[in-house]
Amino acid sequence: MKNNMKISHVFVWTVFICTAVFATVSIMFLSYIHIIDIESLSAVQESAYTAQMKSIRQHGRLEKPHKREVKGVYITAYSAGSKKTVDRIIDLIDRTELNAVVIDIKDYSGLVLYDSDVPLVNELEVEDNRLRDITATIEKFHEHDIYVIARQTVFQDPILARNKTDWAIHNKNGGLWYDNLGLAWVDPSNENVWKYNVDIAKEAIALGFDEINFDYVRFPSDGNMRAIAYTNGERELYDVMGDFFSYLDTHLSNEPAYISLDMFGFVMERHNGISIGQRIEDAADHVDYICPMMYPSHYPAGHLGLANPAASPGIVIEHGMKKGAPHFEGKQAEARPWIQAFHIGAHYGAEKIRAQIDQVEAYTDGGWLLWNASNRYTDAGLKKE
């Protein structure tokens, strides 16, 4: 009987010990499996993060591109959305001293010309994706070491004016004010307009553009000017524009792209705001480039004693550059003029195009931009590579 009880106790203890060992092993195994699962999950997360960072490195950048003496041509969104036209422009650039393109992303109509995720753009339904796959187009230009600039109109924006009438320029007699082309403008003093345009600019930078070129950064110049209900009170128009340029500096200076402004050509010679609020001195410490539109055909008859300034591009450009250059000394901004590549006032072939380029390069390292609204460019006047 005692032997049977002894055997029974041994059996019980054996079962207990085996059960405890099994439980301990099971817990350790399950813990091990859990650790493996956690490590696997971490590995997946790490892989996703690595892929994300790789994508950012491939499609974006954290710093501004290296500065260069930009020598560019303007092309419309339709041109940039056409493979045939893009290939033609790349071929021209590869063969000449050209190294940059300026592409519309928001034009005089107020339409945003790429696939935008800016909330207000989508709310107002002002998107017209003429640029198609703009990221791929930018990458294609970059493969040829071509600097890519986004051109964005600001205060001439009839669609925004109609949709946000509180943000618009109004007529003293009531309703919106319209210029001589029947286009409404938004108020340059309205900070909602500033933010809207900065949001678009930041998105364009994220798409890969090297620079944002703001155009129509001014008050209106044509139409019934006396009917405009200005909101600036006693302040000068150029003070309002100075505030806007400062706002751009605050919100875009840390972005990985440069900022430029288009201005009337006369800002190089006159410093009173020329009735539209544009002065070099109000912008020169806030942006990287100022681009006066120095098309000789746009100067009035009698300018510098010339019956037809378009016929003497070298004289016109030299005078403007000489007068304006001192206002860039010691400033952040460099001068980078728009010059004429179209036949108004005179035929603009190799000699007249080269005359403009030579005079610009004598006064600035900022470069120059050729304008032809139809994007019909040749190598006339350009140095060959």
From CA 328, how far away is CA 336, in angstroms rounded?
11
Half-sphere exposure of 224 (CA within 13 A, CB side): 12
Least confident range of 18-32, 159-173, 293-307: 18-32
384 pLDDT higher than 80 = yes
**Separation CA 227–CA 172 (nearest Å):** 5
Segment 235-242 shows an average pLDDT of 98
For residues 51 and 62, give the distance between their C-alpha atoms in angstroms, rounded to a whole number: 17
The residue type found at 196 is Y
pLDDT tens, 316-374?
Answer: 999 999 999 999 999 999 999 999 999 999 999 999 999 999 999 999 999 999 999 99
**Arithmetic mean of pLDDT, 95-120:** 98
Spatial neighbors of 207 by CB under 8 A, at least 6 apart, are: 114, 134, 135, 138
Rounded Cα–Cα distance for residues 270 and 252 (Å):
28
H or E stretch at 173: none
Give the model confidence (pLDDT) of 44-81 as tens digits.
444 543 343 344 345 568 999 999 999 999 999 999 99
